[in-house]
């Protein structure tokens, strides 16, 4: 509850709301721009459009839970299904945006390595790449979600932000969906600056 949390945590919690709203407005503006000018949708820019959609999806699906949990941590406690959904959204939504950033880096690599092919590729390639990355991501997390729903413990003091089931599998999932893609993205950025 707000009264029992440190003042700095409360301040950060309140600051999160306008930051999220600014992000939502910026992503809506990106979508409106692409809708008004479809000629801007190219094989190069489709990844930015996909990222805007993912960001809006994250803001709509997870951020309300995250903000509410800052102030009323018990909202998702006592209901195994809701608690599982909150955890699943926490695990997957932020990483989906990171994976899309990795796809943007990978797309730029393709432009350098295969310039002739890159000029001929279609917008659908970028859409399929994003859908494949999302499928890859959720395939890793669905077993954890199902196991957590079946075996996870929900008590009046449970914080729905983490799970104790399948700890070794959680480590593998973090490496395959977060650490490895981020390392690839960072190596691409380092190469760009070299």
Average pLDDT over residues 71-97: 74
Which range, 41-50, 61-70, 100-109, is most confident?
41-50
Of 88, 61, 56, give the one whose Cα is nearest residue 161: 88
- Is 118 among the domain residues? yes
Q: How many Å apart are CA 116 and CA 45, to the nearest integer?
A: 18
pLDDT at 180: 84
Q: Is the dihedral of CA 27, 29, 31, 34 positive or negative?
A: negative
- Is 23 among the domain residues? yes
pLDDT at 15: 82
Residue that wins the pLDDT comparison between 63 and 115:
115
Q: How many domains does the chain have?
A: 1
- Is 1 among the domain residues? no
- With pLDDT > 90 as the criterion, what percentage of the chain qualifies? 32
pLDDT over threshold 60, residue 35 = yes
- Is 114 among the domain residues? yes
DSSP track, the chain = -GGGS-HHHHHHHHHHHHHHHHHHHHHHHHHHHHHH-GGG--TTTHHHHHHHHHHHHHHHHTHHHHHHHHH-GGGGTT-HHHHHHHHHHHHHHHHHHHHHHHHHHHHHHHHHHSHHHHHH--HHHHHHHHHHHHHHHHHHHHHHHHHHHHH----TT--TT---S-HHHHHHHHIIIIIHHHHHHHHHHHHHH-
Confidence bin at 3 (pLDDT 50/70/90): very low
pLDDT over threshold 60, residue 1 = no
pLDDT over threshold 60, residue 52 = yes
Q: What's the chain's average pLDDT?
A: 82
Of 194, 64, 46, 65, give the one whose Cα is nearest residue 131: 46
pTM score, two decimals? 0.79
- Is 166 among the domain residues? yes
74 is written with which tokens? 């018990």
- Is 27 among the domain residues? yes
**How do residues 128-150 score in pLDDT, each as one tens digit?**
999 999 999 999 999 988 988 88
- Is 146 among the domain residues? yes
Q: How many Å apart are CA 190 and CA 194, to the nearest integer?
A: 6
**Locate tokens 């395959």: which residue?**
176
Residue 76's domain spans which residues? 7-192
CATH of the domain at 61: 1.20.1070.10
- Is 2 among the domain residues? no
Average pLDDT over residues 54-81: 73
């Amino acid at each position: 509850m707000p009264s029992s949390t440190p003042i700095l945590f409360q301040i950060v919690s309140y600051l999160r709301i306008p930051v999220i709203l600014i992000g939502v407005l910026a992503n809506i503006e990106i979508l409106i721009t692409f809708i008004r000018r479809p000629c801007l949708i190219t094989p190069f820019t489709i990844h930015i459009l996909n990222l805007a959609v993912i960001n809006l999806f994250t803001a709509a699906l997870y951020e309300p839970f995250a903000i509410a949990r800052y102030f009323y941590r018990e909202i998702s406690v006592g209901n195994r299904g809701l608690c599982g959904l909150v955890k699943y959204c926490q695990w997957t939504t932020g990483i989906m945006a990171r994976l899309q950033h990795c796809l943007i880096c990978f797309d730029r690599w393709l432009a350098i390595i295969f310039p002739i092919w890159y000029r001929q590729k279609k917008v659908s390639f970028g859409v399929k790449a994003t859908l494949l990355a999302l499928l890859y991501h959720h395939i890793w997390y669905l077993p954890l979600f199902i196991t957590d729903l079946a075996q996870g413990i929900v008590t009046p003091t449970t914080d729905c932000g983490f799970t104790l089931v399948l700890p070794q599998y959680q480590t593998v999932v973090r490496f395959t969906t977060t650490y490895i893609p981020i390392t690839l993205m960072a190596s691409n950025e380092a190469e760009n600056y070299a």
